[in-house]
Amino acid sequence: GDRLELEVLDARGDRVALFDTFEAAVVHEGVTMPAGSPLIAGSWGLGLRRGSHDLQRMVTVQGMAIEPGDPIAYARRWWQEPFAEPKHVLVHLTAGDSSVPEATGIALARAAGIVDYRTIDERYGTTPDRFLIDHGVVHGYEQAWPYRNAAGSAILFDPDDLDEGADGSGAPSETPLRITVPRDDGGVDGLRILYVNPTGQHAYYLPNDTVPFDWDTFAVQQMARYLSTVGTDLTDDLCQETRECPWLRPFEVDEP
């Protein structure tokens, strides 16, 4: 991207700081900007001023145009009020996602009738929706909540405990929520919140068998199993993390 120079001015307009290099190495979208290298824009853009009246007007008009295409606008059509054949849905979220906010995914699951906000869950004495709100899962920002690891660092609450404590993060948890909604055609809908990073992360990525619990492999296998069974089997079996489930084909490695 273009080289940047950022000035910090005091109330009198005098410069108090100038930033034109990276003080530490930064990795963005797979590219490393080394410490001491020129400060540049990490992504492409048009270089237009943010927050202008023209931008606000354009965003408002475009928002009106695309609003009907927002999945939350038709989520109830998946099963509750289908136009045609009902569809099964597994909403996969990663805890603390700030790129696609966790609150957005939970709202989508709520609109689809997956996250219940009316019926009390006897395990918690409140609704699943309120449970997620009260434990900061919807908020998704670890610094705003009281949960800490053994070192005293702020971490997120893990509502589903899909790893059963195996990842070594010391994540706070209660009885696993793991929302699963059986449907009368034999299928299931569900919500799973993957604790891939104690302080939040967008999505899951490539398998990594060097960590105590391979969240990325588990997540991919869980979604693959759900899709391969056309929404009839939503399993939390830990074999999905090790790729040793009986329904998986063994890897065939050609010897050199």
Q: What tens-digit pLDDT sequence spans the chain (256 residues)?
A: 678 899 999 999 999 999 999 999 998 888 899 999 999 988 877 777 778 888 888 889 998 999 888 999 999 999 999 988 999 999 999 999 999 999 999 999 999 999 999 999 999 999 999 999 999 999 999 999 999 999 999 999 999 999 999 999 999 999 999 999 999 999 999 999 999 999 999 999 888 989 999 999 999 999 999 999 999 999 999 999 998 999 988 767 666 6
Q: What is the pLDDT of residue 58?
A: 87
Q: Specify the pTM.
A: 0.78
C-alpha–C-alpha distance, residues 150 and 179, integer Å: 28
